[in-house]
Amino acid sequence: MHKIGIADTTFSRVDMYKIAKKTLKDNLEGVKLVRYTVPGIKDLPVAAKKLFAEGCEIVMALGMPGGKPIDKICAHEASQGLIQTQLLTNKHIIEVFIYLYETKNEKELFQVVKNRTEKHALNAIALLKGRETLSKYAGMGKRQGFQDIGQIKSQ
Amino acid sequence: MHKIGIADTTFSRVDMYKIAKKTLKDNLEGVKLVRYTVPGIKDLPVAAKKLFAEGCEIVMALGMPGGKPIDKICAHEASQGLIQTQLLTNKHIIEVFIYLYETKNEKELFQVVKNRTEKHALNAIALLKGRETLSKYAGMGKRQGFQDIGQIKSQ
Amino acid sequence: MHKIGIADTTFSRVDMYKIAKKTLKDNLEGVKLVRYTVPGIKDLPVAAKKLFAEGCEIVMALGMPGGKPIDKICAHEASQGLIQTQLLTNKHIIEVFIYLYETKNEKELFQVVKNRTEKHALNAIALLKGRETLSKYAGMGKRQGFQDIGQIKSQ
Amino acid sequence: MHKIGIADTTFSRVDMYKIAKKTLKDNLEGVKLVRYTVPGIKDLPVAAKKLFAEGCEIVMALGMPGGKPIDKICAHEASQGLIQTQLLTNKHIIEVFIYLYETKNEKELFQVVKNRTEKHALNAIALLKGRETLSKYAGMGKRQGFQDIGQIKSQ
Amino acid sequence: MHKIGIADTTFSRVDMYKIAKKTLKDNLEGVKLVRYTVPGIKDLPVAAKKLFAEGCEIVMALGMPGGKPIDKICAHEASQGLIQTQLLTNKHIIEVFIYLYETKNEKELFQVVKNRTEKHALNAIALLKGRETLSKYAGMGKRQGFQDIGQIKSQ
């Protein structure tokens, strides 16, 4: 049985946990989810670290940075913290961040959030299975939130 | 009984400690506050670390970065340090930063400081209670300092 | 026998592993490769750390950051994490990053990826052999992906 | 008896040590100063760490970054290092940095350096005395190098 | 007898090791040099760490970042890593970086590289001798690569 941590925020404008939960439950039998909700993305690194302390094998860190310049710096700080957390724990954290400026309207934004969260939930499952599970997709120009961009071969 | 640390600065233009103290005392019976006042926001990380060494369970880091470009870099450094401190101690630090450029005048600035500090004091209390206490607000587009922005649902 | 780790991504648009593998196999007899495929470049630091835990002496971290401003920040975070990983393990990680904006078209991009990956695979082998193996090329203006730029001497 | 470390640079254009020394000696009886002079501000973090290893309780890090864009990045790196040093040692480092671009002429620059160094020397003494020594000035809009900017109250 | 590490790169366009070696040999009797050549500046931090593991007391990290915007970020990452390395080892690393954009032509570039490397080699020797060896030059506006800018005194 696998134990997966999910850290999410109240700042986010979409219930990303719900999306991640459905994909994980549908694709990994008997998975146990442990949730940790924090105010914003800068609170995610320590939440992830605490989820690992509770025995999670991998953590999904879900967040939606705001649309102002300062929010990019916040996301940068959060990302640095998430990488540090991985190095301290030797475990993967799948960061799923969607910026409020990435789309033209709310409908499209919801679709990007849904698509990115679902694809990254599958990535999390793949990483749990082993370090070469994703190798068949290596160099394929995979994208989360948008369509895959494809591979460039020798010409 | 809960012990909460509050680190504040002499650089700030508002007595943020007073606001945080009132909200914490009003909403958490028997809370004990430990205060640490430093010159500026870059002094907050080690102050927070020392507050944890005195037995605090969570720390609020209160500060008001200046309005010049260099002040954004200072705030960035302070935030990175606060995240590192959390990872070293496995405890939350609620960062409450308000930039001097965020509002048009001093009256509005005071209101933003008050609102953000109060809401984050409640967040600190919620995090003390457990990792799913805030889950009911997850993905709701919560904002501190300004009005909530609201949730985007499937359309 | 040398054991070399190769971490690559599904985000990349070129199968960089294939290129690295060929150069390493052709130039280092009996080399054993250990592969780790992750979604994107920000997942590379912990993958490299785990490859060292499996006994690799050196790791090549292969990735292609996207072409948007945010992608530069992602690459910056990944690079910081790769440097931290080296300091934690006392081992070299050869970072092979190619930005999607570096060339005018896909054909040229493939050539840059190929050239940079091949040259850095040779660098990895040289570093395995000792700390002065590359000294004969020191200060020669070596470039990976493009032509060498050459040395400037006393005039 | 208190032991205070002072790290200064040859890059600085003002003898900041002399200013700090006078203020510290005038305001803290029997203080013992330990000096460490390095080439530039990026050498300050390890100098501060070594001063703590010699038993200093607090360190003042004195420097004057240059006026070019690259110098802002150098100062950023130095500041990050000074914060890391504080977290590693659990002790305060009072950073006193003055940018060459902060004033219109050399006369004014000297005044800013003098004022900022003196005020921060007093801050260092206050922090030695305890974590609430500065609390009476909290939220008062204190500035070093320039005039205080003052407090904003409820309106 | 002093043991000094020198880490240099194949990316650099000038043989900086040769310059550093001459100055160190001419000014420190019986000095033993340990060389480590890596591809680029981002490989310098772990090289320096490994040189300390071989018993070096101080390390000179020699590099020439490229002239593109991305190269400034690379240099920033390298510098952060060099500061971290110093904090992990409690030893000085003298960073000698020259940007390709710093001068108008190659002749001038060579002069800047030579001058900066020589002056910093002398700084390395001074730091070996003790923490107050450079104090007589503190606040004198010393520059490496260019002419000293001089001291500003009370007016």
Of residues B152 and A68, more confidently modeled: B152
How high is the pLDDT of residue D154? 87
Supply the pLDDT for residue C67: 86
Predicted confidence at residue C52, as pLDDT, reads: 98
- Of B22, B98, B28, nearest in space to B62 by CA: B98
Q: Among C72, C87, C137, whose Cβ lies nearest the Cβ of E84?
A: C87
Q: Which 8-state DSSP code applies to residue D137? A: G
Q: Does the distance separating the beta carbons of A8 and B138 come in below 8 Å?
A: yes
Read off the pLDDT of residues A40-50 as tens digits, 9 standing for 90 and up: 999 999 999 99
pLDDT for the residue numbered B100: 87
Nearest chain E Cα distance for residue D35, angstroms: 7
Q: Please give the Cα distance from A44 to B103 (Å, whole number).
A: 27
Cβ-nearest to E137 among D10, D46, D70: D10
Q: Does A44 touch chain C (CB under 8 A)?
A: no
Q: Are strands D32-38 and D3-9 parallel, antiparallel or unpaired?
A: parallel
Q: Average pLDDT, stretch C21-47?
A: 98
Please name the member of C8, C80, C81 whose beta carbon is closest to the beta carbon of A139: C8
> Quick one: closest CA in D to E94, which residue?
D43
Does the model's pTM come out above 0.90?
A: yes
Q: How confident is the model at residue A100 (pLDDT cuts 50, 70, 90)?
A: confident
The secondary element (H helix, E strand) that includes residue D20 is helix D16-27
Would an 8 Å CB–CB cutoff place C85 in contact with chain A?
yes
D112: contact with E, CB 8 A cutoff? no
C26 touches chain A (CB under 8 A): no
Which residue in C has a C-alpha nearest to residue A153's C-alpha?
C14
Q: What is the 3-state secondary structure (H, E, C) of A93-135?
A: EEEEECCCCCCCCHHHHHHHHHHHHHHHHHHHHHHHHCCCCCH
Q: Which residues contact B34 (CB under 8 A, 6 or more apart)?
A: B3, B4, B5, B6, B51, B54, B56, D131
**Cβ neighbours of A38 in B, within 8 Å:** 92, 127, 134
Averaged pLDDT score across all residues of chain E = 97
> D142 vs B14: CB contact, 8 Å cut-off?
no
pLDDT, chain A, mean = 97
| Residue E49 to residues A15, D83, E20, E73, Cα–Cα distance (Å) | 45, 21, 19, 21
Residue C70 touches chain E, beta carbons under 8 Å: no
pLDDT band at residue E1, thresholds of 50, 70 and 90? confident
Contact B107 D155 (CB under 8 A): yes
Distance CA D38, CA D10 (A): 6
Chain C residues whose CB is inside 8 A of the E36 CB are 131-132
CA angle A76, B131, B80 (to 5 degrees): 25
Chains A and C touch (3+ CB pairs under 8 A): yes
Note the pLDDT of residue E76.
98
pLDDT at E147: 95
pLDDT in tens, C55-90: 999 999 999 999 888 999 999 999 999 999 999 999
Closest residue of A to B88, CA-based? A46
Averaged pLDDT for residues A64-92: 96
Half-sphere exposure of A87 (CA within 13 A, CB side): 25
Band of the pLDDT at E154, cuts 50, 70, 90? confident
Task: Judge: D37–E90 Cβ closer than 8 Å, yes or no.
Answer: no
Residues in chain C within 8 Å Cβ distance of E49: 86-87, 90
Please check whether residue E72 touches D, CB under 8 A: yes
Q: What is the pLDDT of residue B101?
A: 86
Chain D closest-CA separation from residue E140 CA (Å): 5
> Is the minimum CB–CB distance between E73 and chain D shorter than 8 Å?
no
Report phi then psi at E59, rounded to 5. Answer: -130, 140
In this prediction, residue C6 carries a pLDDT of 99
Q: Is E86 on the interface with C (CB under 8 A)?
A: no
Q: How far apart are CA B118 and CA B18, in angstroms?
A: 10
Residue ranges in chain D whose pLDDT is less than 70: none
Q: Do D46 and E135 touch (CB under 8 A)?
A: no
pLDDT tens figures, E93-124: 999 999 988 899 999 999 999 999 999 999 99
Look at residue A15 in the predicted model and tell me its pLDDT. Answer: 98
| B82, B86, B138: residue with CB nearest A9 | B138
Who among B72, B123, B154 is closest to A110 (CB)?
Answer: B154
Residue in chain A nearest B72 by alpha carbon: A70
Q: What is the mean pLDDT of chain C?
A: 97
pLDDT of residue C154: 87
- Residue linked to tokens 């700042």: A11
Share of chain C above pLDDT 70, in %: 100
D-chain residues near E91 (CB < 8 A): 46
ipTM above 0.90, yes or no: yes
Region C5-20: mean pLDDT is 98
Summarize the confidence of residues A93-118 as an average pLDDT.
95
| Distance in Å, alpha carbon of E61 to nearest chain D alpha carbon | 13
Nearest chain A residue to C88 by CA: give it: A87
- Inter-chain residue contact E151 with D14, CB threshold 8 Å: yes
D83: contact with E, CB 8 A cutoff:
no
Q: Which helix (H) or strand (E) holds C53?
A: helix C44-53
- What pLDDT sits at residue D147? 95
D99 touches chain E (CB under 8 A): no
Q: What is the per-residue pLDDT for D71?
A: 93
* Chain E residues close to D12, C-beta within 8 Å: 138-139, 141
B54 to each of A133, B35, B43, how far by Cα in Å? 46, 11, 17
pLDDT score for E67: 86
User: What DSSP assignment string belongs to A70-94?
Assistant: HHHHHHHHHHHHHHHHHHHHT--EE
pLDDT of A67 higher than 90 = no
Answer whether C114's CB lies under 8 Å from A155's CB.
no
Between CA A134 and CA A144, with CA A138 as vertex, the angle to 5 degrees is 75
Banded model confidence at residue B89, pLDDT cuts 50, 70, 90: very high
Judging contacts by C-beta atoms under 8 Å, the chain C residues touching residue A133 are: 37
Q: Could you tell me which chains touch chain A, where touching means 3 or more CB pairs under 8 A? A: B, C
Provide the shortest C-alpha distance from residue E37 to chain D (in Å).
23
pLDDT tens sequence across A1-15: 899 999 999 999 999
Interface contact D37-E133, CB threshold 8 A: yes
| pLDDT of residue B52 exceeding 90 | yes
- DSSP states along B55-100: T-SEEEEEE---SSHHHHHHHHHHHHHHHHHHHHHT--EEEEE--T
Tokens 């945080």 correspond to what residue? B20
